[in-house]
Amino acid sequence: MSGHEPTDAEGLILFEASNDGNEETQGDTTQPDAENVQAPVLHWACAMCMFATLLCLMTIASICLLVWLAYEYTKYSADSCDVPLQFWVQVVSLTALFNLACNQQDRYGTLGARIFCGWRFDPENPERMPVRVQAYNLLVPIFTAVWNCVGLYWVSQAKEPALQDRGLNGTAVEEPEVRPCKEVAPGLLAAIRAYASFNLLYSLFILIGVAGLSQILYCLARRGLIRVSDAAPPGSLERNTEEVTLEDPATLEQTSCSICLEDFAHSEGVLVKTKQCGHVFHKAHLQNWLMVHRTCPLCRSDLGISDR
């Protein structure tokens, strides 16, 4: 009947049915978002695991080649030949000792950066690495790569051992003063060729892997899944910006967002203006930016300051 009112039992059934329907609807709307976040993270985690595994295997192989190189050097250290193989190994040894002593990373940076660049990383107040420290960090890998190329060049210049010819009177021709390395130290020659070639490949693998890993970490930081040392503290966006409209004078001078390069007049979304420098951005884009950087995208003013 039209005037029938539901009893308490019927009302309870209708209430549970409506809740089930709402939960199913909410589950349908939230599940794709969770999958969109979890799937890339899973792929990135697999890629990082593969890179770490290959890096460990290649590191073990590099250590084995270094042991072989040291063994061959001890056998032929006193034997001089047409190519300065012993000098090449000595420079490699000094470079390895220098890396162990000065380029080991700790929470304050490296000892070499503190000694040669006068820079010390402060975990309590992180700052961008100076250019001189970046140049120093690139100096040793570049020198190592160049020295490996020099070793391969010297190995390629090693002469073949000459056959002993006899003169017209049956006497043997006098041997040259410097004997070829392929005759004097064939084991050291092979060890240098293998070590230099593998380390060039190893350095290239690390360069490509670190570049890809940095992009992965950057994407994770942009999604808010991890935090980096250069990121702004939580709440920096709310403390250091204010919401504005298209009628604000700042939007007349700056008509587009420098992060996405889209005009404010042809885009949707909340606009915010920095209190310190007065630059305008899309709020969502600036929030993603502050998850990786603490400075203004335009003028590099510090947007992570808490005292306002």
Q: How far apart are CA 47 and CA 257, in angstroms?
A: 33
Q: State mean pLDDT over 201-229.
A: 68
Q: 265: which DSSP letter?
A: G
Q: What are the sequence ranges of the domains in the chain?
A: 45-161+180-222, 230-308
Residue 85's pLDDT band, with cuts at 50, 70 and 90, is: very high
SS3 48: helix
Give the per-residue pLDDT at 227. Answer: 55
Strands of 280-282's sheet in order across = 241-244, 271-274, 280-282
Give bridge partners of residue 256 from the DSSP assignment.
263
Give the per-residue pLDDT at 62. Answer: 92
Phi, psi (5° rounding) for residue 109?
95, -150
190-214 confidence digits (pLDDT tens): 999 999 999 999 988 888 777 666 6
23-58 confidence digits (pLDDT tens): 444 444 333 344 444 555 566 677 778 888 988 999
Q: 172: which DSSP letter?
A: B
Question: pTM of the prediction?
Answer: 0.58
Q: How far apart are CA 257 and CA 286, in angstroms?
A: 9
157-178 confidence digits (pLDDT tens): 988 876 544 444 555 545 556 7
Phi, psi (5° rounding) for residue 259?
-85, -50
SS3 161: coil
User: Tokens 């792929």 label which residue?
Assistant: 43
What's the topology of domain 230-308?
Herpes Virus-1 (3.30.40)
- % helix, strand, coil for the chain, step of 5: 60, 5, 35
130: left (phi over 0), alpha (psi -120 to 50) or beta: beta
